Structure 1
Amino acid sequence: MGCTKLKGKERAELVCLEKKEAAGVKLCKEEVDRLKELRRRLKSFGD
């Protein structure tokens, strides 16, 4: 169950942050931490 939620909302958030980063937008510390956390969590689900 938690898996599905992670795949949807958090993946969208990850993509959004990665797009900002790729566009050269300087991410604030919270966003950088969030990006690392999301990548780590998605990786643990075998992506």
Structure 2
Amino acid sequence: MKILVSWSSGKDSAWMVHVLRQQPLPIGGLLTTINEAAQRVAMH
């Protein structure tokens, strides 16, 4: 089973990726939500 990480581009999501890689747990991908009108990451 692979893990999908919600990626906001902030320090907390970066830390979560770091922690998961120390396990090592397989990260299947990073999920980022983009605000199309603002052309930026929606949650940060």
Instruction: Look at both structures and tell me which one has the larger radius of gyration over its CA atoms.
Output: 2
**How does the TM-score come out when normalised to structure 1?**
0.40
**How does the TM-score come out when normalised to structure 2?**
0.42
Q: Which structure: greater strand fraction?
A: 2
